[in-house]
Structure 1
Amino acid sequence: MLLERRDLQSLAYMLALPALVVWQWMHGIWLPLYALMLFLTLGTGVIHHNHTHRRMWRSKRLNRLTDLWLTLLQGHPTYVFYPAHIANHHRYRHGPLDVARTYRFNGDTNSLWGYLIHPLQAVTVLYPVFLRWLLAQRRRGSGAWRYALWQYAAVLMLWALTAAIDLQNWLLLVLLPQLHGLHWLLATNYLQHAHADGHSSINHARNFEGWVNPLLFNIGLHTAHHAHPKAHWSKLTTLHRHYRERVDPRLNAGGLLPYMFRTFLLAAFVPRLRSRSLMSPASGAPRAPVHASENP
């Protein structure tokens, strides 16, 4: 029933995360398992994203069940990817009309503070997008409105039930891991786009290589993903080879953790390591929207 066998890895993450929660709920928190659980919350965010772009199953019912399962794991409804990610980020690609563009809030920065604060800033502009979308669906009488409310209800019921059973375990094993995953889901936008050129059709995203890709479903190969948003994540490795030589070399950043250490920590003491913006102040005119299925 799976469209792609490589999504067995996705299913393994989706089963391992709640299994670790249940085991630690029953036997107590063990730091190595807790660290693994936090890592799996990152994977859940990427799977959530990937399932939005390309459905995992041949069956509509299984895809709906996967939406619900990911909603419960993430602690946030699946529907939000459609108005905020597909209709906004993939349409405007970090350009001046992208509501959560990294240079909207503190200027065109790429710093530790910018990375840490970006998720909170993004939420302030994304939630109005969610609400407008929901109200539009309600006015149309669309079933999407009811589907989104069911997703919110599922999260609230999970929280209420687990908090009633054990408030401390709910905080440590449910809410905190979900917030950790949501932080990374939103902060990834900063990692992938800060100091990239929001006015360029090719240099609008940063790419990461190394272990982040096999562990997190090729999330680092972002230029290829923007160019081919409907391609399955397993195909991005091949597609990346085509785009790697076309983007500005500074956007091929190597490994994710070395990049973060170099850019957010070492650069404070070594000026030559500081990130430089690729965006020209003179190129401020909004770019025409690009539909999610369109290649640059």
Structure 2
Amino acid sequence: MAAKNKPGFLFAYSYWDVIPVVFGILHFAYLIGMFLWFDRLPWYANVLLGLVYAVSISWNINGISHNFIHNPYFKSEFLNRIFSLLESVTMVFSQTFYDAVHKRHHIGNSDRPDANGNTIDWLSIYRYGSNGEPENVWAYTFKSYFRDDPAEIYREIKKRNPGLARFGVFEILCSVLLVLVGFVLNWKFMLFMVPFYYLGHCLSSLNGWYEHWRGNPDLPIAWGVSSYSKLYNLIWFNNGYHAEHHYRPKHHWTKMHELHLQIADKQKEAGVHVITWSHGLGFLQPK
């Protein structure tokens, strides 16, 4: 069950959701600030800011954007659409399309390929693997960005809600328009940002790989892999509780530790895999 705290007229689930909302707005403001200050800063400062932006894409996708999918922050559908659009232009993708892909992820839960080599989960780490093993982490990390099929995602959304599918296209068009305006105003900045943008989405894929490496696709309580690093969960909006999240996807992000305590014994019995590092640093975990 999602954790409803009856927060009043604005937020749908919890007053705590003001935190990811504010940080989502600040993320967009950071991008605009980079654009405005680009010509005034030395190259090394711009590189540092670019690297922060790259990391912040993974941070947003796996924290702010992700929690928004499972428990939309606002009671108002209009405000949810506005925030979805903000997320889209900040990371130059469609939040609505990501919503559809991520919900497929929770239907398949990083499933293994069937007899025809297909997976329900488009993001499954086994989708492009071989002999029943996950794909190599670095192949998954750097290739995943190019594997999305916007037409297929659009059809998936349209089956459920044609209006929402059109809004997803609108998000993409707004993101493309913002990019085009950026090139007109400062093409050097836009070219400079391309590798950092790509790196950010690669870091998100890297994060996703370690969220399921050594998980058990056949056992619901062990579908995900958790990290209980306090700093990671503080900054990443409790994304570390990933086994718990797959077990109860609608559970509010502020209640994940409580859920962990409730099912800890069952997790231990099921052999839920836990890593010491954050998911994005999972490659530092001993094999």
Write the distance in 1 (CA, Å) between the matches of 2:170 and 2:278. 36
Q: Report the count of equivalent residues.
A: 259
Aligned to 1:58: 75
8 Å CA contact 1:103–1:194 kept in 2: the answer is no
Matches within 5 A, 1:200-215: 200-210=219-229, 211-215=231-235
Answer whether contact 1:253 1:259 (CA < 8 A) is retained.
Answer: no
Cross-structure match for 1:6: 16
Q: CA deviation at 1:192?
A: 0.8
| Residue 60 (structure 2) aligned to one of 40, 44, 61 | 44
Cα distance in 2 for residues equivalent to 1:188 and 1:258: 4
1:74 alignment partner in structure 2 = 91
The aligned runs of 1:242-281 (5 Å cut-off) are 242-247=262-267, 248-249=270-271, 251-256=273-278, 260-263=282-285, 273-274=286-287
1:100 aligns with one of 116, 123, 130: 123
1:239 to 232, 244, 259: 259
CA shift, 1:141, in A, is 8.3
Task: Note closer, same or farther for the CA distance 1:138–1:187 as it changes in structure 2 (3 Å cut).
Answer: same
Q: Give per-residue Cα distances to partners, 1:65-89, cap 9 Å, x unaligned.
A: 0010000011110122333211x21
CA distance in 1, matches of 2:262, 2:164: 37
Counterpart AA for 1:204: W
Corresponding position of 2:168: 148
* Offset at residue 43 of structure 1 (A): 2.4
Any unmatched runs of 5+ in structure 2?
1-9, 113-118
* Residues 191-226 of structure 1 deviation map (CA, whole Å, 9 limit, x = unaligned): 111232212222221101111111011111011111
Partner of 1:228 in structure 2? 248
Cα–Cα, structure 1 residues 22 and 100, in superposed 2: closer, same or farther, change >3 Å? closer
Equivalent residue, structure 2, for 1:17 = 27
Aligned CA-pair RMSD = 2.7
- TM-score norm. by structure 2 comes to 0.79
CA distance in structure 1 between the aligned counterparts of 2:152 and 2:256, rounded to whole angstroms: 33
Separation in structure 2 between the aligned mates of residue 201 and residue 137 of structure 1, nearest angstrom = 25
**Take 1:45 and 1:115, find their aligned partners in 2: how far apart are those partners?**
19
Question: By how many angstroms is 1:9 displaced?
Answer: 2.2
Deviation at 1:93?
Answer: 1.3
Deviations along 1:21-80, one digit per CA (max 9) or x if unpaired, are 333332326255444433322222121121111111111111110010000011110122
Alpha-carbon distance between aligned partners in 2 of 1:258 and 1:92, rounded to the nearest angstrom = 22
Where structure 1 has 5 or more consecutive residues not aligned to the other structure, the ranges are 264-272, 275-296
Could you say what secondary structure the match of 2:239 adopts?
coil
Gap change, CA 1:243 and 1:254, over 3 Å in 2 = farther
- Answer yes or no: is the 8 Å Cα contact 1:38–1:177 preserved in 2: yes
CA shift at 1:262, angstroms? 3.3
Deviations 1:95-119 (A, max 9, x none): 2333332123233557xx8222214
TM-score by length of 1: 0.76
What's the % identity of the aligned pairs? 16
Task: Tell me whether 222-231 or 30-39 shows the greater mean CA deviation.
Answer: 30-39
Aligned equivalents of 1:34, 1:124: Cα separation in 2: 21
